[in-house]
Amino acid sequence: MFSRLNTVAFQGVDVITIDVQVQVSSGMPAFSIVGLPDKAVAESRERVRSAFHAMGLSLPYQRITINLAPADVQKEGSHYDLPIALGLLATMKVVPSDSLVDFVVLGELSLDGRLAPISGVLPAAVHAASLEKGIICPKVCGGEAAWAGEITILAAENLLSLLNHFKGTQVLSPPEPLMEDISAQKILDLRDIKGQETAKRALEVAASGGHNLLMLGPPGAGKSMLASRLPGILPSLTPSEALEVTMIHSLAGGLNEGKLIRTRPFRDPHHSASMPALVGGGLRVQPGEISLAHHGVLFLDELPEFSRTTLESLRQPLEAGKTVVSRANAHITYPSRFQLVAAMNPCRCGYLSDPERACSRAPKCALDYQSKISGPLLDRIDLHVEVEEVSAKDLALPSTGEPSSTVAERVKRARNIQEERYQILGLKARLNAHVDGELLDEVALPDEEGQSLLKKAAEKFKLSARGYRRVLRVARTLADMSASPTVLSDHIAEALSYRRIYFS
Ligand SMILES: Nc1ncnc2c1ncn2[C@@H]1O[C@H](COP(=O)(O)OP(=O)(O)OP(=O)(O)O)[C@@H](O)[C@H]1O
Ligand SMILES: [Mg+2]
């Protein structure tokens, strides 16, 4: 007796079709799974056996062989339980095997036959749609599968209700696509921040052009507070971005009840995060924080406290917008186009600029502290801003700043200008931060006055080629923020003020 059906394996965001072949033959009773299963897949035998028992069925007292083909792809995860169980039921003629050929099947079984939530249902459903098949998955994951388009979805609570569906005694209703309720989310408002006009302006520039931002200042100046307010001024995700972001979070198993994500992710990993946690990888390859921050913000608070190798591993993804995790048998790619916001104190005690409070080791300790961050990483950060402490007197005054909603409107307008420009040029880039090289020189060409100012500044500050282009890129964003088609000297002057800060 033989039956086959399809499930999937994940390699990064790529989905591979897996053929589950089930054979029940005469011989010594045995139950073996072959085709590079990991421990979770091998253990599915016990879950399948118990789930059958819960339904009053027993496994055939024969030789059962499950082959997961192609045999050279590592099978990881617990979603193989359901295809194995359904394959077995098809060989036992409990389920008609021709009813399974049009589906991609995935789900984890509990011992009582219930279907437990699994990761990766959305990418699997999108893959199923490309194969013109439907999907069978746990009920809780039905909401995310529904985003894959017009496909048949059988989202069942337990194995028994699936059997009843195939028998025709119970009909499984198609799930509704679910999406995050934006209005219910609590947005931190920029209005809460008193003073800090320069830092707020830098935050708006960063949001408008998608630039990376580094804030430097003494403890308690409001750096973490400023960074946490960035998502509130960023526009919501476009439908295609929302689908991409939801796919990654689905793979990482962090999707809230299968709801489509609509707000830009904001990830703030602790500085003790390991390299695989940040860039992806690990024993079972998982997307890292930088991929979970795709199309959103990665906030690294207390930047020098991160390990040096962890920070250096950000350099390549920051340029490429994707991460490649290399394994002995595969290269796994995850998208990671994120905006980096970092905060740090100028030295270990944090009070370098305040002679009354600075420790006795200043300014030497500042050099040691700051040298933990390499030049090439700092070079990838377009905006550097010093955040000074707000005095107690100013903190006591009522807040007079703009609310996040007003700033968000302006950010949206500036982003629309950029999008339109790059669309006309036929480019994939949508924000100034993603433009470099000759194209940047072309779109950000300053007027004559601006050019001479930039030339003088380049000589005076000994700007590197990267530094020069960084000023141009920020100036282009400043011009877009004021809806100016040409980059003017004012824009160059302001962009120069966000230059890398050198300490001594
Ligand atoms: N400009 C400000 N307006 C209102 N409150 C502020 C401001 N700056 C700091 N605070 C208050 O101080 C607290 C600490 O701020 P925050 O955590 O952002 O400081 P920080 O710069 O990140 O410090 P550290 O370097 O120690 O991490 C905030 O929770 C807030 O209550
Ligand atoms: Mg902080």
| Residue with CA at minimum distance from ligand 1 atom 26 | 219
Sign of the dihedral through C-alpha 258, 260, 263, 265: positive
CA 219–ligand 1 middle distance (angstroms) = 7
> What local confidence, expressed as pLDDT, does residue 70 receive?
94
Instruction: Report domain extents, the chain.
Output: 2-167, 184-434
For ligand 2, a single-atom ion, the residues with CB < 5 A are 224
CA 220–ligand 2 middle distance (angstroms) = 7
- Token duo for residue 90: 């098809």
Nearest-angstrom CA–CA distance, 412 and 476: 16
Nearest-angstrom CA–CA distance, 396 and 431: 38
- Token duo for residue 121: 């249902």
* DSSP symbol at 230: S
- Token duo for residue 56: 């009053």
User: For the segment 52-83, what is each residue's pLDDT rounded down to a tens digit?
Assistant: 999 999 899 999 999 999 998 889 888 999 99
CA 215–ligand 2 middle distance (angstroms) = 10
- Decide: 120 in ligand 1 pocket, CB within 6 A: no
> What local confidence, expressed as pLDDT, does residue 401 receive?
83
- C-alpha distance from residue 90 to each of 59, 66, 172, 292, 365 (Å): 12, 13, 19, 39, 70
Give the pLDDT band of residue 501 (cuts 50, 70, 90): low
User: For the segment 94-113, what is each residue's pLDDT rounded down to a tens digit?
Assistant: 998 888 999 999 999 999 99
Mean pLDDT of 434-460: 91
User: What is the residue-wise DSSP string for 177-191?
Assistant: P-B--GGGSPPPPGG
- C-alpha distance from residue 115 to each of 47, 87, 168, 345 (Å): 11, 16, 20, 49
* DSSP symbol at 75: B
* Residue 360, pLDDT above cutoff 80: no
- Contact status, residue 20 vs residue 4, Cβ threshold 8 Å: yes
User: For the segment 250-265, what is each residue's pLDDT rounded down to a tens digit?
Assistant: 999 888 788 899 999 9
CA 147–ligand 1 middle distance (angstroms) = 40
Nearest-angstrom CA–CA distance, 456 and 447: 14
Least confident of 116-120, 143-147, 284-288: 284-288
**Cβ of 340: how many Cβ atoms within 10 Å?**
23
Cβ-Cβ contacts under 8 Å for 313 (sequence gap 6 or more): 275, 278, 279
Nearest-angstrom CA–CA distance, 335 and 280: 11
| Residue with CA at minimum distance from ligand 1 atom 17 | 224
| Position with higher pLDDT, 282 vs 414 | 414
- Decide: 348 in ligand 1 pocket, CB within 6 A: no
Closest CA to 193 of 169, 213, 221, 173: 221
| Nearest ligand 1 atom, CA 387 | 21
Cβ-Cβ contacts under 8 Å for 211 (sequence gap 6 or more): 205, 339, 382, 383, 432, 433, 473, 474, 477
- Token duo for residue 182: 């934006």
CA 394–ligand 2 middle distance (angstroms) = 20
The β-bridge relationship of strands 103-105 and 134-138 is parallel
% residues pLDDT > 70 (the chain): 96
CA 226–ligand 1 middle distance (angstroms) = 8
What type of residue is 122? L
| Nearest ligand 1 atom, CA 218 | 25
* DSSP symbol at 426: T
Mean pLDDT of 158-162: 94
- The reply to whether 2-167 and 184-434 are identical in fold is no
Nearest-angstrom CA–CA distance, 428 and 414: 17
Nearest-angstrom CA–CA distance, 221 and 143: 43
**DSSP run (H or E) holding 68:** strand 63-69
Cβ-Cβ contacts under 8 Å for 218 (sequence gap 6 or more): 345, 346, 350, 351, 352, 353, 354, 388, 389
* Residue 502, pLDDT above cutoff 60: no
User: What is the residue-wise DSSP string for 427-461?
Assistant: -S--SGGG--HHHHHHHT-B-HHHHHHHHHHHHHT
| Position with higher pLDDT, 464 vs 403 | 403
- Decide: 223 in ligand 1 pocket, CB within 6 A: yes
- The domain 2-167 having CATH identifier 1.10.260.40: the answer here is no
* Residue 504, pLDDT above cutoff 50: no
Stated pTM of the model: 0.90
- Contact status, residue 135 vs residue 125, Cβ threshold 8 Å: yes
* DSSP symbol at 398: P
- Decide: 390 in ligand 1 pocket, CB within 6 A: yes
Q: What fold characterizes domain 184-434?
A: Rossmann fold (3.40.50)
Give the pLDDT band of residue 187 (cuts 50, 70, 90): confident
Closest CA to 321 of 255, 236, 380: 380
- Contact status, residue 498 vs residue 477, Cβ threshold 8 Å: no
**Cβ of 137: how many Cβ atoms within 10 Å?**
31
Instruction: Categorise residue 295: left if φ over 0, alpha if ψ from -120 to 50, beta otherwise.
Output: left
Mean pLDDT of 451-457: 93
CA 222–ligand 2 middle distance (angstroms) = 7
| Nearest ligand 1 atom, CA 193 | 3
**DSSP run (H or E) holding 298:** strand 297-300
